[in-house]
Chain A
Amino acid sequence: GENVEQHPSTLSVQEGDSAVIKCTYSDSASNYFPWYKQELGKRPQLIIDIRSNVGEKKDQRIAVTLNKTAKHFSLHITETQPEDSAVYFCAAPASLFSGGYNKLIFGAGTRLAVHP
């Protein structure tokens, strides 16, 4: 089955610096890779996702890159701000059901702290 590894488990940066979180997956058939952000005491929320037909996707200060050959994908946050402090989860699908991915395997999470 799918296995997702995420690094680092904790990341501390100064405000304005960039942050990079990396994930590797095992199932070469996977083709949808979301990233979720979970603030303290809140629910996980999708911040960006990428499909395997593109290598990079950007949305303002966040971007995701995908290397299908190496089976890894990364989240990049530029010009970090204190409100970026949260736990970030990557995920990869484990099975396809009627056109959609019904099972996501989540990485163990990265606790990002942005210091003013």
Chain B
Amino acid sequence: DTAVSQTPKYLVTQMGNDKSIKCEQNLGHDTMYWYKQDSKKFLKIMFSYNNKELIINETVPNRFSPKSPDKAHLNLHINSLELGDSAVYFCASSQLGTSGSPPSNEQYFGPGTRLTVT
């Protein structure tokens, strides 16, 4: 029944490692997002995909690479992890209405992945 799911929920790793976070939504939405929430709770958008096409790419280091194999999945790969990458990463989805169905604008968030880089 989970609408937006992410794995893993927790990720502890050392500096310099490469890691991936996976996201899946079963809402039939056409758009998915990655957000970063830092220790001060500030929510900042990183990437957005619409029907597997990248439509938002904020000023994010190129160590971060999103991939959308289909419109229900959006993964985030991070190379050469740094201490400053420690945060909670949220996946979200919404319906922008690009496939004929009307837009709804509400963004549904996944449970988050708490990444700790040591």
B55 within 8 A of A: yes
Give B45 Cβ to nearest chain A Cβ, in Å.
Answer: 6
Q: Are B45's CB and A103's CB within 8 A? A: yes
Of all chain A residues, which has the CB nearest B6?
A43
| Cross-interface CB contact of A109 among B42, B94, B96, B98, cutoff 8 Å | B42
What is the number of contacts between chain A and chain B, taking CB atoms within 8 Å? 71
Interface of B is mostly: loop
A window 76-116: CB within 8 A of B? 87, 89, 93, 97-106, 108-109, 111
Contact B55 A32 (CB under 8 A): no
A45–B40 Cα distance when bound, in Å, is: 18
The verdict on A103 contacting B111 (CB below 8 Å), with A32-B105, A97-B55, A109-B41 known, is no
Interface of A is mostly: strand
> What residue in chain B is nearest A105 (Cβ atoms)?
B45
Bound complex: CA A21 to CA B73 (Å): 35
Per-position binary interface string of chain B over residues 13-33, scored 1 when its CB falls under 8 Å from any chain A CB and 0 otherwise? 000000000000000000100
Residue interface bits B45-66, CB-to-A below 8 A is 1, else 0: 1001010000110000000000
Closest Cβ neighbor of B106 among chain A residues: A46
Residues of chain A within 8 A of B55, CB atoms compared: 97, 102
Question: Could you tell me the distance in whole angstroms from the C-beta of A36 to the nearest C-beta in chain B?
Answer: 8
C-alpha gap A102/B92 in the complex (Å): 11
Task: Contact check, B56 vs A102: say whether CB atoms are below 8 A apart.
Answer: yes
Q: What residues make up the interface of A, taking CB atoms closer than 8 Å to B?
A: 32, 34, 38, 42-46, 49, 87, 89, 93, 97-106, 108-109, 111
